Amino acid sequence: MQIARDERELRARRAQLPEPVGFIPTMGALHAGHLSLVARARSECASVVVSIFVNPLQFGPSEDYDLYPRTPERDCELLAAQQVDLTFMPAQAVMYPVSPVVSVDPGDLDKHFEGARRPGHFRGVATVVLKLLQMVAPQRAYFGRKDAQQLAIIQGMVRDLNVPVEIVGCPTVREKDGLALSSRNAYLSPAERAAAVRLSAALRSIAERLRAGETDIHAMIAHATQLLPPLETDYLGVVVPDAFVPLATAPPKSHLLVVGAALAGKTRLIDNIEAQTP
Amino acid sequence: MQIARDERELRARRAQLPEPVGFIPTMGALHAGHLSLVARARSECASVVVSIFVNPLQFGPSEDYDLYPRTPERDCELLAAQQVDLTFMPAQAVMYPVSPVVSVDPGDLDKHFEGARRPGHFRGVATVVLKLLQMVAPQRAYFGRKDAQQLAIIQGMVRDLNVPVEIVGCPTVREKDGLALSSRNAYLSPAERAAAVRLSAALRSIAERLRAGETDIHAMIAHATQLLPPLETDYLGVVVPDAFVPLATAPPKSHLLVVGAALAGKTRLIDNIEAQTP
């Protein structure tokens, strides 16, 4: 596996790779969720490129940028074992040689849920992903469905800005008890880890009611909220996957997403589950 | 000269062109200023691509989108005569098949001068230029220095978003009396046309004082403003070319731009002149 640390090196090595090139942008601290994206790209593409960059632009001032887990040696071992061709590990000065002025604005896609809780987060995500797509120039880029609003914003960005890449959304990888894998799960104490499963259980309860034909989303949320303690509810909601505006009433014959966030101690968990209405 | 009218056709024809590809995005109504960009690209690149698209996203609700001059047959004749390889003439539904949600935010670069007078203008410009750059994938793109703030924003965008293209700024083409060429000059009555030259004269008066070592920019602007009538002053200012924040005092040994806008009747004229301070 080759490693590139600056843009010139990345572009030179990328130019030598057989196409199609599949790309997985990550912040490192890799887990089985990331590796499922790598395996998917490996199975579909002639070459696989991964980036590892903890992007300061997507962390709020009170968030965990400094604390975010960093395990570069282990990450590289995992990626090499998955036959990744090229890993891009830029320093902050490579990605942001000057303080960036121009950025990607997610528009109405970040006005609710994660976007409302984390002002500037998705602008930072969209901007760094566009930068990486410009540098790596992949034919396909792979994102987990666990970060559903992020996926909707990346898909909207690629559509609205005509970026020549296919965005592939991949299934959320879960622990046996249903907890969605996340690098931030490393923060959980054993008691918090035990409680964390309640988020996916609450989302499933809403999804089951939607599938059964219930339409009053506020009532479904009220019921599901009672399932969350000792987790502290941040939000529960139901959206059309590419819009991320909270629905009050479930429309019939629709493909919807049930989204939620909750706190386990100081650790914020997010998750989502698909639901088809009858 | 080939003409492409949708993205698929454009990408297919672009893929056949020898590189480097030089690109000139325009809104049509071509004049000698545009043609100087085409000639520069022709002299530096193996292939030349021009786009003609009157971009609704960069016009304000009270601006001249409907009135903007459109001369597509004549434009194509001029481009063919300049040995342009490929002209992209998309319909609005090709550029904006859905109402765009994600856009390029020029950040602090559009907070003054044109950006302050025309809210959303540069967001529209940056967004459509990024879309076109993604579709055309040129090695070089050519812009006139007459739209200096636009050039600064495009350069900032390419830098901050790592777009793999070299932005080439080209000298403003002027009439013999000094008036900068603009498609909007077509709106001018003979009397307005005669008065229009006063804008470049006012900018020159500021530039001469800067070169002579004067530092009080407010005093220079006050003097130059008296040179403008019968033009109505919109703004005069002095900036560092890549920042576009109004300066109050001219720094020594600096490369500066004197910028201005004025109204000739209902027609808005903009212009700028470089000045080096001692």
CB contact under 8 A, A103 and B105: yes
Q: Tell me the pLDDT tens digit for each residue of A218-259.
A: 999 999 999 999 999 999 999 999 999 999 999 999 999 999
Other Cβ atoms within 10 Å of B191 Cβ, number: 11
Partner residue facing A160 (CB), from B102, B107, B153: B102
Nearest-CA neighbor of A140 among A16, A47, A21? A21
Q: Quick one: average pLDDT of B240-262? A: 96
Interchain contact A162–B (C-beta under 8 A): yes
* Cβ-based neighbours of A17, under 8 Å, separated by 6 or more: A46, A47, A49, A85, A86
Cα-Cα-Cα-Cα dihedral sign, residues B38, B39, B41, B47: positive
Please list the active-site residues of B: 34
Q: Tell me the pLDDT tens digit for each residue of B87-115.
A: 999 999 999 999 999 999 999 999 999 99
Taking 90 as the threshold, does the pLDDT of residue B255 lie above it? yes
In A212-256, alpha helices (H): 217-225
End-to-end Cα separation, chain A, in angstroms: 48
Taking 90 as the threshold, does the pLDDT of residue A124 lie above it? yes
pLDDT at position A107 is: 97
pLDDT at position B64 is: 87
* Cβ-based neighbours of A64, under 8 Å, separated by 6 or more: A184
Q: What whole-number distance in Å separates Cα of residue B196 and Cα of residue B199?
A: 6
Q: Which residues of B touch A131 (CB under 8 A)?
A: 160-162
Q: Which residues of B touch A106 (CB under 8 A)?
A: 101-102
Q: Which residue ranges form the domains of chain B, and what is each CATH number? A: 2-170 (3.40.50.620), 183-271 (3.30.1300.10)
Structure tokens at A256: 């919807």
CB contact under 8 A, B107 and A127: no
HSE-up (13 A, CA, CB side) for residue B265: 14
Taking 90 as the threshold, does the pLDDT of residue A208 lie above it? yes
Interchain contact A48–B (C-beta under 8 A): no
pLDDT at position B20 is: 98
Q: Which residues of A touch B106 (CB under 8 A)?
A: 101-102
Taking 90 as the threshold, does the pLDDT of residue A64 lie above it? no
3-state helix, strand, coil in chain B (%, to 5): 40, 25, 35
Q: What whole-number distance in Å separates Cα of residue B90 and Cα of residue A246?
A: 35
Q: What are phi and psi of A47, to 5 degrees?
A: -135, 150
Do B235 and B260 meet the contact criterion of CB atoms below 8 Å apart? Answer: yes
pLDDT at position A121 is: 97
The fraction of chain A above a pLDDT of 70, given in percent, is 100
Tell me the shortest Cα–Cα distance from B131 to chain A, in angstroms.
Answer: 5
Interchain contact A216–B (C-beta under 8 A): no
pLDDT at position B133 is: 98
| Alpha-carbon torsion, ordered A162, A163, A164, A166, to 10 deg | -100
Taking 90 as the threshold, does the pLDDT of residue A65 lie above it? yes
Taking 90 as the threshold, does the pLDDT of residue B50 lie above it? yes
Q: Which of B57, B102, B151, B244 to mutate to test the interface with A (most CBs of A within 10 A)?
A: B102
CB contact under 8 A, B101 and A104: no
Q: Confidence band (pLDDT; 50, 70, 90) for A112?
A: very high
Taking 90 as the threshold, does the pLDDT of residue B231 lie above it? yes
ipTM (interface pTM)? 0.95
Structure tokens at A172: 């959320």
